[in-house]
Chains A and B, each alone.
Chain A
Amino acid sequence: MRIAELLEKRRQGWLELERMCDSFRSVKYPFANQGSLVSRFSALYRAACTDLSMAEQYQLPPATVEYLHRLVGRAHSQLYRSRQFATHRWFHYMSRVAPQSIFRDPCVKVAFIVFFGLFTLSAMISWSEVRFPGFAERILGADQIKALETNFDKPLEKNFNDYVMMSGFYIKHNTSIGLQCFALGPLILPSLCALAYNAVVLGASFGYMARSDVEQGDVFFQFVTAHGVFELTAIALSAASGLRLGIGLFATGGLRRVDSFRLNAERALPIILASVVLFFMAAFTEGFVSPSPLPYFFKACVAILSSGLLMYYFVVLGYPHPDIDREIANSEDNPWRSVGVDHATR
């Protein structure tokens, strides 16, 4: 049990490892181009690991064991560092995995049906003044209708300054709302409420503006045509991601609740990422194209082009295809890999 000599032999190694950990803390890539450093570090680390595993046998005092635990922990987190952001991997994820994952997700379908269903319904009710008098006024409120009308009173004409500033505002404001929809997903109701609220209010505004007796309608549609496609899709997608996250807490599919939550977060991520990208694109369109005095023809072309783009991404890239299936089936990035079996047996 004379462990003094033993500890003395080991201690220099521990201290050296400790010093190396200290010096790495402030360095971003501590092991870049330093093979000898890596091998020295890992040798010391393995030695400390061995000491730790032999601690019981050596009968090291508890405080020394505690010290070794922390030392090994620190060295471990230096040696196995987080993988850096690999661009090609993210490109593959966004171009291959994400559309497939989004296309097959039932939550996306539900969110789209809820959003565009309520939107259309609300727009039609609000539009047919004769059958449903006062609907738009009750939904939007007289003040907001007035604000809408004054907003689109004058023909669109703004300068470059306004374009840039407004796109900044749209990025911050709209994308934040989308991300909030995702973040509040585990509580389910906030996501769904935000979705339904947006659908009804937007629908009512569109319907009201489409009435033949509202003069500002022309300018309004001049404004919304270009970015509407991106923005409406983004709203629906962000709520879908929140829904997917929340569903995971209830429909566990035989997994433990925690595992199911984790798996569904993995499935929700491509949806919210796509939604953020769409919010950004919508913001720039809304900032630059929508308020410009360009002819309506051009704006309609932008809308058609963006619809085509969305179709390509979500349907052409997303439609299940045996080749793509084979390519991504076992990829660890694919959140739908071998649906649940892998996780259930773990």
Chain B
Amino acid sequence: MNAQNAIDLTAVITTPENIQFEYRIAGPFRRLPALLLDFAIRMMCLVAIFILMMVVGATAAIPSGMIFFLILLASFALDWFYGLFFETYWNGQTPGKWLTMIQVISVDGRPINAYQATVRNFLRLADFAPMVSLEMFAADAPPAYVIPTFLVSLICMTLTSRFQRLGDLAAGTMVVVNERSWVPANVKLEDTRVVSLSEHIPANFRMSPTLAKAIALYAERRGRISIGRRTELASHLANPLLKQFNFRDDTSPDLLLCALYYRAFVSKEAFSEVKRFAPPPATDTGLTSKDTDATLLVNLMPDSLELPPPILKAPL
């Protein structure tokens, strides 16, 4: 049911709709900032409560014992019930996890319940072990074992396929990335030579799915690659195709792949739209209603398609 992709760090979930989708698993370095943030938030809460109680104690007629009682109780609750409370009520997220956009879920993809939140948070101390004493850093410091080394959790995460710490193992949970992904930005094929070249690709040429996938991957990433490197990468795929299509040898391999991409994914009608609409502003949601089929698909880089200087002469 929960197949594990051995190469990518993703967990496959099967939903009640009988759909499989993947979660990206958050590793230790994704989780550490959340831990530190939570620690900082807890400390700030504690300081705030302390100051508040002192002010209340100074102004109102409340016995000082009560003030200390409340401070002690608050620090105890923050120590042991902070994560438990938030993960139960905030759908598997603490404020730190919320800020770093990670989330705790069950290994079977369901949200965690109060029981799981309790177990994984009570076991946090074991994951922090072994603790290092303050004395290691200053000889006159009190021998308090308060500095966590996280060794247990790191070893445990290394040995499990879902980066689970001990608490996660005991509760049957895992931490996944829950960030909004970028809406596929648009590859803008502004260079008309792409179109003219694509028209010369033999009409009976059928692209296999793997070839289409490879070309799409290339088109998505080429914006981040230097021109020389583009030629080098593209030529592996382009040179045999140039021969097959009887194109001139000095046709830019990059341009050929763009033309194939255009042919595979962008319709002719769509391309004509490009000229009519100005490229959409890069808004937060990425797409506006103006983004018609003209601008298609998937590129992280907005400045993606400056094509290299033309090497293409008229195709043979």
Could you tell me which A residues sit within 8 Å of B by CB distance?
A: 1-5, 7-8, 11, 14-15, 18-19, 21-22, 28, 45-46, 49-50, 52-53, 56, 59, 61-64, 66-74, 76-78, 80-85, 90, 160-165, 167-169, 171-172, 175-176, 179-180, 182-187, 245, 258, 261-262, 265-266, 269, 272
Contacts and interface: CB of A to CB of B under 8 A. Distances in A.
Contacts of A167: 69
Interface string B120-156: 0011111001000000000000000000000010000
Interface centre among B68, B112, B117 (most CB of A within 10 A): B68
Nearest to B87: A82
Contacts of B39: none
Given A15-B183, A168-B69, A171-B72, A1 B297 contact: no
Nearest to B171: A265
Interface in B189-222: 207, 209, 212-213, 216-217, 219-220
A185 B212 CA distance: 54
Given A1-B207, A76-B15, A262 B122 contact: no
A99 B112 CA distance: 25
Nearest to B220: A63
- In this complex, the interface size class of chain B, counting residues with CB under 8 Å from chain A, is 35 or more
B292 A8 contact: yes
A184 B111 contact: no
Contact of A64 (B87, B207, B297): B297
B72 A62 contact: no
Given A179-B122, A186-B166, 18 more contacts: A2-B267, A4-B267, A11-B287, A14-B183, A15-B285, A59-B213, A62-B213, A73-B178, A74-B178, A80-B109, A82-B87, A82-B113, A82-B114, A83-B114, A172-B73, A172-B76, A180-B125, A187-B152
Given A46-B17, A72-B21, A80 B110 contact: yes
A169 B80 contact: no
Contacts, number: 215
Nearest to A241: B122
A73 B65 contact: no
Contact of B209 (A18, A59, A67, A183): A59
Contact of A61 (B88, B124, B179, B220): B220
Interface of B: 13, 15, 17, 19-24, 63-66, 68-73, 75-76, 79-80, 87-89, 91-92, 103, 105, 109-115, 117-119, 122-126, 129, 152, 160, 166, 169-172, 176, 178-184, 207, 209, 212-213, 216-217, 219-220, 264-267, 270, 285, 287, 291-293, 296-299
A70 B126 CA distance: 32
Contacts of B105: 77
B270 A4 contact: yes
A272 B80 CA distance: 13
A162 B68 CA distance: 10
A187 B124 CA distance: 13
Contact of A81 (B71, B91, B119, B129): B91
Given A4-B296, A69-B21, A269-B119, A161 B64 contact: yes
Contacts of B178: 73-74, 77
Contacts of B103: 77
Contacts of B176: 73
Nearest to A89: B114
A7 B293 contact: yes
Contacts of B270: 4-5
B73 A171 contact: yes
Contacts of A180: 125
The 8 residue pairs across chains A and B that have the minimum distance between CB atoms:
A161-B65, A183-B125, A168-B69, A265-B170, A63-B298, A168-B72, A61-B216, A4-B293
B113 A83 contact: yes
Contacts of B266: 4
A8 B114 CA distance: 41
A52 B184 CA distance: 15
16 contacts: A4-B267, A21-B180, A61-B184, A73-B23, A80-B110, A82-B114, A84-B89, A165-B64, A165-B68, A167-B69, A172-B76, A186-B126, A261-B169, A262-B172, A265-B123, A269-B119
Contacts of A172: 72-73, 75-76
Contacts of B64: 161, 165
A131 to B, nearest CB: 35
B73 A1 contact: no
Contact of B76 (A11, A22, A62, A175): A175
A187 B166 CA distance: 11
A1 B184 contact: no
Contacts of A164: 63, 65-66, 68-69
A172 B111 CA distance: 31
A5 B267 contact: yes
A76 B109 contact: yes
Nearest to A185: B126
A234 B305 CA distance: 69
A194 B91 CA distance: 35
Given A1-B212, A62-B217, A81-B111, A187 B126 contact: yes
Contact of A7 (B22, B110, B209, B297): B297
A187 B153 CA distance: 12
A11 B287 CA distance: 9
Given A4-B266, A63-B297, A74-B180, A161 B63 contact: yes
Contacts of A64: 184, 297-298
A187 B127 CA distance: 10
Contacts of B267: 2, 4-5
A183 B129 CA distance: 10
Nearest to B284: A22
